[in-house]
A and B are shown apart, each in its own frame.
Chain A
Amino acid sequence: GAVVSQHPSWVICKSGTSVKIECRSLDFQATTMFWYRQFPKQSLMLMATSNEGSKATYEQGVEKDKFLINHASLTLSTLTVTSAHPEDSSFYICSARDPQTAALYEQYFGPGTRLTVT
């Protein structure tokens, strides 16, 4: 089945630094990837939709200059949290669509990345 990986699985960084999270589709080419954020004991909230070769579409209230998304290839999307602050500490989850085998509704989720900003 379709597998999505994320790296790193967890990261601790100091306030003011930037951290990059990778999302890879391992056995399929993903034209569209999604980035979600989940605060403790809360639901998943979509941050942005990432399309290969074009600019990401951000959800209302998500700062595009703070959360940089790059989808330069069909198997890799990256989320960079710039100038991270403790309030950015969260669980970041990506998902991907496989246009070859799945209909528009299918998303395959990565295992998530836990970010802690000290």
Chain B
Amino acid sequence: AQKVTQAQTEISVVEKEDVTLDCVYETRDTTYYLFWYKQPPSGELVFLIRRNSFDEQNEISGRYSWNFQKSTSSFNFTITASQVVDSAVYFCALSELPGGYNKLIFGAGTRLAVHP
């Protein structure tokens, strides 16, 4: 069965610290997509990244970077030099193509608090 595990419920850091949010997934399919979303207090989901199962290249976007490792079924997210504006809940999600409607399975989320 498909499953996304975000073991870290809450993380608290001081500004400028680096922080890594863990995501472990389970799927029986060889073709799938992984996502990270940010949900600030306003509630609206902000799309951060999408990665398909055939692309294991790590990605960097400004202070954000992602490490995808199929061998360990992990898709971790690192924020470098964290800022107060990074405070939010972050969700990792899995989508499988077979079956058509690409249901998104969300992890439980990690609440990140960045303190000045």
Contact = CB atoms under 8 A, between A and B. Distances in A.
B44 A107 contact: no
Given A91-B43, A105-B97, A111-B44, A43 B107 contact: yes
B95 A93 contact: no
Given A42-B108, A43-B91, A43-B107, A105 B102 contact: yes
A44 interface: yes
Contacts of B109: 42-43
Contacts of A109: 37, 44-45, 47
A49 B108 contact: no
Contacts of A42: 108-109
Interface in B85-116: 91, 95, 97, 100-109, 111
Interface string A105-118: 11101111010000
B109 to A, nearest CB: 5
B50 A105 contact: yes
Contact of B106 (A41, A43, A57, A97): A43
Given A57-B101, A105-B102, 6 more contacts: A32-B101, A43-B108, A93-B43, A97-B102, A104-B100, A106-B50
Interface of A: 32, 34, 41-46, 49, 57, 91, 93, 95, 97, 104-107, 109-112, 114
